[in-house]
Structure 1
Amino acid sequence: MDTPIKPDGRIAALGNQLIDVHLSLREELARLREDAEAWFDGRAERPRELRAHCLAFCSAVSRHHTGEDDGAFPALGELHPELRPVLEELGRDHHVVAGILRGLEELLGRPGPDTEPVDAQHVRTELDSLAALLESHFVYEEKRLVAALNALPDRAGTAGTLLGREAT
């Protein structure tokens, strides 16, 4: 999807696109949690698809956070030095989220003929922790950065380069 561009070439509502990206990630996490519950409750026999779904979600979150760390946050920090403490805090959140994502990938990557079965409660706990952290992170980020993102000049980049993915 192309980034919406105003007639003067400026990025259109980049902060609003951030909200759209977050909504998409929230929806995907909800689907992942539903898939995990169905598998653990015996309503679905598709561990391979669950692992693939988890890896796709983990990759999407990682791309988004890397985009912010490498794109949006430096651009905002340069233009809005007063936001630097917020950006640093959000960057620390990204590291915590990355650790949880690695743990989930490891947990769901285990099943196989010579490995231990997945501990359903451990996966549920990790997904619950991830959901709580991401929700808090997204809300804080949106409250603190949307207006500043919407005001970024066009030279700052596209949603893909600044946010790690386009809004859907």
Structure 2
Amino acid sequence: MTITINLLDDSTRPKAPRIEGATHAQRLQGRRLAMIHEMHLRQMGQVRQAMEHVAAGEKGAGEELGQALSALDMRHNYRAFGNICGQECGMLTAHHTIEDRYIFPALAEQGSEGLRKVVERLMAEHEIIHQLIERMEEAAVDAMNEPGPTTFAPLREAFEALERFVVSHFGYEQEELEEALGYHQIDM
């Protein structure tokens, strides 16, 4: 599956107009989104640690007996990685579903044309993120079924693409929606 990741270019991302009269308290309410994102980023960090653990096990398997013993651990490590990864992918999908079904429509309805353009872009980015999640899930299944460097490399590549995109997306979303979430009293 080939996914073009061209939405990361900040110069193509619409900017939400600043909201005159937005209070400090409203901006603080809007920052709750950043706390939710921080939880996801911590969990992605755990996925990265598990991936590094798997990679370290692959590098340490040099001789035949070592490889045989390592393969047992490696299979367990791949399964553990798949479980951790699957949990975060599920939670990230749920987070975006809530945004797409409830938060973004409310913002688009109450906000300006500029805010609607931001919401449209964020929803388009969610589609790319979900394609990346699917790509990573497919690679994880392959790696769990046949642990080894050949299947691990595409898994690592898929995770790194997802992580890079999610970090950029979260930053953009937080920056552009902070005022609007609090001002329009959108519950998180």
TM-score range, shorter chain: 0.7 to 0.9
AA at the equivalent of 2:184: L
Shift of residue 14, structure 1, vs aligned partner: 4.2
Following TM superposition, the consecutive aligned residue runs of length 4 or more in structure 1 with deviations greater than 6 angstroms are none
List aligned pairs for 1:70-81, cutoff 5 A.
Answer: 70-81=101-112
Aligned mate of 1:137, from 158, 163, 169: 169
Q: State the distance in 2 between where 1:12 and 1:52 align.
A: 36
Match of 2:52 among 23, 30, 37: 37
Kept in 1, the 8 Å contact 2:30–2:181? The answer is yes
CA distance in 1, matches of 2:109, 2:120: 13
What does residue 163 of structure 1 align with?
none
2:51 counterpart letter in structure 1: A
Distance 2:94 2:154 in 1: 25
TM-score between both structures, scaled by the size of structure 1: 0.78
Q: Which ranges of structure 1 fall in alignment gaps of 5 or more residues?
A: 1-10, 160-168
Match of 1:105 in 2: 137
Name the one with the larger helix percent: 2
Aligned counterpart, 1:25: 40
Equivalence for 1:16: 31
Q: Report the residue type matching 1:38 in the other structure.
A: H
**What is the CA distance between 1:109 and its match in structure 2?**
1.5
Q: Which one is further off, 37-46 or 95-104?
A: 37-46
Contact 2:129 2:162 in 1 (8 A): yes
Q: Aligned-residue CA RMSD in angstroms?
A: 2.1
CA 14–64 in structure 1, closer or farther in 2 if over 3 Å, else same? farther
CA distance in 1, matches of 2:167, 2:133: 15
Q: Larger deviation: 91-100 or 38-47?
A: 38-47
- Conserved 8 A contact 1:13-1:149: no
Compute the displacement of 1:32 (Å): 0.2
Query: Which string of whole-angstrom CA distances, capped at 9 and with x for unpartnered residues, describes residues 74-107 of structure 1?
Result: 0000110321111111101000000110111111
